[in-house]
Amino acid sequence: MKDVVVIGAGPAGIHASYLLAQAGLNVVLFEAQGRVGDRAICSGVVGDEAFPRFDLPKQPILSDIRCIQAVSPGGRKLEYSTDGPLAQVIDKAEFNRSLAQRAVNAGAELQLGCWVNSLQVEKHSVEVQYRHTDAGPASVRAQVAVITTGVNGSLNRALGLAHPRQFLRAVQAEMALPPNGHGNATRIFVGQGVAPGAFGWEIPLGKNRWRVGLMTEDNPDPYFAKLVHRVSPNADMSTLRIDRKGIAQASVGRCVVERVIAAGEAAGHIKTTTGGGIYYGLLSAELVADVLVRAFRSMNFNARSLGEFERYWRSTFGNELMVGYFARKLASHFTDGQIDKFFDAANASNLLVRLNGKLKFDWHHRALLSTLRSLMTLPGGFGVG
């Protein structure tokens, strides 16, 4: 009998395993892939404040971001830059492996090539049934299970746990780009013709390599082809390794049942503005660990006891998720002409200067609310109807 089974070795699952093992619990972490970090599809942008906040490894850092430039449909630009790093760009696979090694060093047991296909909640335990790549079907019992399987929602559905309000569809490739006159600025492309409902990106990795991608509410393929040829007119799409991923948005429903917690992206704990899951995944893992350590002190794993996790995450970052979701949905209705008009008005009024102090890489709701209040007072007005 294990104390805790954690299912899914992404940042949330690994960090939860590390914290629980560090607290002296008997933890096993299951990962379906044969190696941690395989198929780690991500833009790899982590806010600079996350590194000291979660004591993250720095070896996987490829470059830093000090300048972000948003580009409107008509080519207008809004630029925000700082003297120090806003964020770090990481090798996500290496990042996950570094976190996993730390969890193993703390005492967590890592089981690779194990696909969990069901959870059975029993009176005194939870039974986890899985299939090992080499050894076939098996099972293990634990006091508690933590689901951190990302957007794979099969376990959530079986247990009646949280499901996303919406999925965005993301595509990305790493590629060499010709000199573009923008230095090492990270560029964000917006507009109905670029990525309806979201945005595209161009992220510098160093050594003339870039991550180019987008997420959208629609089929992303034709938009991605347009974006690639926009940033590199002579690019050969057939030579690119294109990664694809669904991105959950603002989940609905509970994250807890008796003896089971869903956390991280499996609970919809990702930034609804940008689709980034690392920061809130790590924060979600900390809240899981805090709740479970206290649950083991009282040996009480019912839904009421574990429900503290619901109250914690909602009070900590629930407002961020909802404000970001509805702000993005509102922006998705803007025409390209309205977006250009906003860029012109924002530049004329030094909107980004006025937002200084409210702009934080992983906390957006204050800046979003301030921007929405400014829409009606910007020079020349800004109608969204």
For the record, the structure tokens of 357 come out as 């102090």
- DSSP string spanning 265-290? GGGT-S-TTT---HHHHHHHHHHHHH
User: Residue 384 has what pLDDT?
Assistant: 42
pLDDT of residue 363: 80
Q: Is 0.85 surpassed by the pTM of this model? A: yes
Give the DSSP per-residue string, 292-356. HHHHHHHT--SHHHHTHHHHHHIIIIIHHHHHHHHHHHHHTT--HHHHHHHHHHHHHTTHHHHTT
Q: Which of 306, 310, 301 lies closest to 123 in space, CA to CA? A: 301
**Distance from C-alpha of 280 to C-alpha of 251, rounded to nearest angstrom:** 14
pLDDT of residue 187: 95
The pLDDT score that the predictor gives to residue 108 is 98
Which tokens is 275 given?
């689709």
Q: Note the pLDDT of residue 41.
A: 78
β-pair type (2-7, 136-147): parallel
> 319-331 and 365-375 helices cross at what angle (nearest 10)?
40
- What CATH number should be reported for the domain whose range is 2-62+90-165+249-328? 3.50.50.60
Residues of the chain with CATH 3.50.50.60: 2-62+90-165+249-328
Instruction: Locate CATH 3.30.9.10 in the chain.
Output: 168-246
> Across the 385 residues of the chain, what is the mean pLDDT of every consecutive 10-residue run?
97 98 98 89 91 96 94 94 91 96 98 96 96 92 96 92 91 88 87 95 92 95 96 93 90 95 94 90 97 97 96 94 89 93 87 71 77 62 46
Q: Give a three-class secondary structure readout of the chain.
A: CEEEEEECCCHHHHHHHHHHHHCCCCEEEEECCCCCCCCCCCCCEEECCHHHHHCCCCCCEEEEECEEEEECCCCCEEEEECCCCCEEEECHHHHHHHHHHHHHHCCCEEEECEEEEEEEECCCCEEEEEEECCCEEEEEEEEEEEECCCCCCHHHHHHCCCEEEEEEEEEEEEEECCCCCCCCCEEEECCCCCCCCCEEEEEEEECCEEEEEEEECCCCHHHHHHHHHHHCCCCCHHHCCCEEEEEEEEEECCCEECCEEECHHHHCCCCCCCCCCHHHHHHHHHHHHHHHHHHHHHCCCCHHHHCHHHHHHHHHHHHHHHHHHHHHHHHCCCCHHHHHHHHHHHHHCCHHHHCCCCCCCCCCHHHHHHHHHHHCCCCCCCCCC
DSSP state of 134: T
Nearby residues of 122 by Cβ (< 8 Å), 6 or more positions away: none
First to last CA, the chain: 59
Which superfamily does 168-246 belong to? D-Amino Acid Oxidase, subunit A, domain 2 (3.30.9.10)
Which tokens go with 119?
Answer: 């959870």
